[in-house]
Structure 1
Amino acid sequence: MNENYNVKYEIKKDWWLIGIIILIWIFTFAVFHRLPDKIPMHWNISGQVDSFGCKRDIFVLPSIITIIYFAMLCTPKIDPKKVNYMKFIGAYRLIRAVLVIIFSALYFSATFFALGYNIDMNRIGSLIIPVILIAFGSVMGRLRYNYFVGIRTPWTLSDEEVWDKTHQMGGKLWLITGIIALFASFFNATWAAVLMFVLLIIAIIVPVLYSYIIFKNKGK
């Protein structure tokens, strides 16, 4: 493993992710002429389409996926704490991969739905949050002090010890809430959606409050 973060090396490691992105663009141009003039853009809590866009909007999600990937690929080079990235490079690669895979799955599902295939978008949507919580929660405790990835509050960014403790707790919390949300996704869709919203709020707010409490206690 290289001692310093190397973009060229990371690209070699991510050959399969780049392959997915290239496949997405090939697929997009291949099916563009088959799409209706208006395509679904958003689904409500019941899995019904409640917003449409023009067929050119099919390029939005592939563009977002591409931008997210290359932004994450290059971010460590401009982070003042870039030396820390190699301490959690495995976790960083996993986060990068999960984001590409999740958005790619969402894109292919939505596109096939627009093409007339019977895709249960409600089921797919209900799985996205649990998968993200579980995947990120499993590696959050390995994240080291940086300015771009992780739970970035005024208190975690001002003290490395607060950062470490917050991410250790946050990782466990995200993993637990993700498992609960995944279990809930197999039940009533409306009830599951409400529970997932509550769990997501908990997963976001609790680590923020925890970082503040640790910081204040440390000051005392």
Structure 2
Amino acid sequence: MGKIAKTLKKDWILLLLILAGFCMSIYFYPALPDRVPSHWNIHGEIDGYMNRFWGAFLMPLMNAGFYFFFIFLPYLDPRKNNYNYFSSAYRAIRYMLHIFFVGIQIVTLMAALGYPIKIQVIVPAGVSLLFILLGNVMGKVKHNYFVGIRTPWTLSNEEVWRKTHRLAGPLWVAGGILCLILSFLNSRITSMLFFLVIVIIAAVPTVYSYILFRNDMNGK
């Protein structure tokens, strides 16, 4: 438990970020309508709602839940010792995801309060930035069971894991940049291209890991 206490002490910025999310929800709660937007279609039109409580507090609760999930995750992993070799990358990934959740919360609250939000631009742009940032650390993630590109072939072969993540890093950065550009070209075609790019940059490392594993097995 000493390690967990030390981690909590190091994570004061993250904890403040999570606390800020709760404070935002509490502050704006009286002004929120009974129904809070929870989903938008590709045209930016609201097509799903939550009640006021969940609309206000779902994201901060998820953020808090994921914080503790990420704290305990290394202790559940059979390869827990490998986390020591990519602790900086692991911390960076945690920061990225928590900031992303707070961003989604801010957008949801602003939309619920009646501010004109171009959700069809903001969310794809946010996802694109997330891929760019994740791509920058993918190559540093060491072999483990929870964080990274977890296919049957990467999990069973450390060299396949290493090569797959070295490919995925620049691929995600390039794909993220392309998706970021497409995010601001708001049309039906660019929306389809956006999703196509996401599918490609997710599928290519998976297929690549299989090919590497098969070649390794054939070589033996």
TM surpasses 0.5: yes
CA distance in 1: counterparts of 2:157 and 2:84, whole angstroms:
20
For 2:99, the equivalent position in structure 1 comes to 101
Q: Judge conservation of contact 2:96–2:130 (CA < 8 Å) in 1.
A: yes
Greater CA drift, 14-23 or 115-124:
115-124
CA distance in 2: counterparts of 1:176 and 1:103, whole angstroms:
23
State the Cα RMSD in Å: 1.4
- Are 1:14 and 2:4 matched, yes or no? no
The Cα offsets for residues 47-78 of structure 1, whole Å up to 9 and x where unpaired, read as 11111221122221211111112111210111
* Selected match of 1:126 from 112, 121, 124: 124
For 1:47, the equivalent position in structure 2 comes to 44
Match for 2:52: what amino acid?
Answer: K
* Selected match of 1:64 from 62, 65, 89: 62
Secondary structure at the counterpart of residue 155 of structure 2: coil
Q: Judge conservation of contact 1:91–1:139 (CA < 8 Å) in 2.
A: yes
Structure-1-length-normalised TM-score = 0.93
CA distance in 1: counterparts of 2:37 and 2:136, whole angstroms:
33
- Identity %, equivalent residues: 40
The Cα offsets for residues 157-181 of structure 1, whole Å up to 9 and x where unpaired, read as 1110111011101112111101111
Q: Judge conservation of contact 1:156–1:163 (CA < 8 Å) in 2.
A: yes
CA distance in 2: counterparts of 1:83 and 1:199, whole angstroms:
35
- Are 1:32 and 2:29 matched, yes or no? yes
Secondary structure at the counterpart of residue 187 of structure 1: coil
Structure-2-length-normalised TM-score = 0.93
Show structure 2 runs of 5+ residues with no match: none
Q: Judge conservation of contact 2:120–2:186 (CA < 8 Å) in 1.
A: no
CA distance in 1: counterparts of 2:137 and 2:4, whole angstroms:
21
Q: How many residues align?
A: 216
For 2:188, the equivalent position in structure 1 comes to 190
Q: Judge conservation of contact 1:143–1:150 (CA < 8 Å) in 2.
A: yes
Give the 5 Å matches for 1:207-218: 207-218=205-216
Match for 1:39: what amino acid?
Answer: V
Show structure 1 runs of 5+ residues with no match: none
Give the 5 Å matches for 1:135-154: 135-154=133-152
For 1:23, the equivalent position in structure 2 comes to 20
Specify which structure has the higher proportion of helix. 2
CA distance in 1: counterparts of 2:187 and 2:103, whole angstroms:
20
